[in-house]
Amino acid sequence: MKTNWNSRDIPHLEGKRAIVTGANSGIGYFTALELARAGAAVVIACRDHARGSEALDRMRAQSHGANISLEVLDLASLSSVREFSGRVCASNQSLDILVNNAGVMAVPNRELTQDGFEMQFGTNHLGHFALTGLLLKLLRAAPAPRVVTVSSAVTMWASLDLKDLQSERNYRPMKTYGQSKLANLLFMLELDRRARSRGLVSVGSHPGTSVTNLQRFAFGRLVRVFGQPAERGALPSLYAASAPEVIGGSYFGPRDWFGTVGAPAPASIPRRAQDAGVARALWEASEALTGVRIGLDDDPPAARS
């Protein structure tokens, strides 16, 4: 891989269709913008319509008429995930790239999603798990589909408690955040194990230390001093989403200063994320909690009532 890979190295993506969650700001914004600049038709999936519309206007101004559209998606609501997926699937257009980017971090007090899940685990993992499953039909219709799941460098010291996925017994803002992002990696690798033979590439990325709205509850001052701009933090996601040499199960992050800043490079996957037994158990728990079965046989994924 090129040492100083940047957005100018993204291959031509004309004819491809992409969805980026949480694209109204930060890493998601620049991921969507650069995919659109490379020629992809990009759907930015944003929780707030007004903020999404503002982001859409900025992207269109910066991308000289690229094909970008907005859809409302609240990953903290399974009904919103189902409604979004229904609208997207109604077009019957294949989906080449799904970037599971949106997230919340270090919510000070334990809060719940609309479905009663702990907010960080429910948004960061369960919302994206359900979304991926409900869009699988469109992904499988593409010639070389790719799912990029955005995790975090905090997974290097994170742990996952299968008996306390909702942090009911032990809620600490950053510990719970770490559990949700470790779940992202476990999901990414399990999806690769289940879908690689069917031609779907499941990969992961993390932005290192990047200045975004994510740090409003924690590390804001530190990140502003030592972090890199969000457009640089988006590079690992962009490489994972677009580089032709990427294979399933890969993980990318910044190259320099212990994976905190710099051009994208292969990142170390924590040992706890490589536990296939835990990944299977998390997958099964996620299906039970969301009611979405990610079918990888000849049938489309089903949403159980």
Q: DSSP secondary-structure letter at 250?
A: -
Ranges 61-65, 84-88, 186-190, 214-218: which has the least confidence: 214-218
Residues 57-70 have pLDDT tens digits of 999 999 988 999 99
pLDDT value at residue 276: 98
pLDDT value at residue 303: 45
CB distance 180 to 124 below 8 Å: yes
**Catalytic residue from among 29, 171, 177, 239:** 177
We find that the CATH architecture of domain 10-303 is 3-Layer(aba) Sandwich (3.40)
Residue 177: active-site member: yes
pLDDT value at residue 209: 74
CB distance 260 to 153 below 8 Å: yes
Does residue 5 surpass a pLDDT of 60? yes
CB distance 174 to 266 below 8 Å: no
Q: DSSP secondary-structure letter at 25?
A: S
Ranges 134-138, 164-168, 301-305: which has the least confidence: 301-305
* For the chain, percent of residues with pLDDT exceeding 90: 83
Does residue 190 surpass a pLDDT of 80? yes
CA distances from 99 to 205, 221, 222 (A): 10, 28, 27
How many CA atoms lie within 13 Å of 233's alpha carbon, on the beta-carbon side? 26
pLDDT value at residue 299: 44
For 44-51, what is the mean pLDDT?
97
Does residue 295 surpass a pLDDT of 90? no
Q: What is the mean pLDDT of the chain?
A: 91
pLDDT value at residue 106: 80
pLDDT value at residue 2: 86
Residue of 12, 2, 35, 18 lying closest to 234 (CA atoms):
35
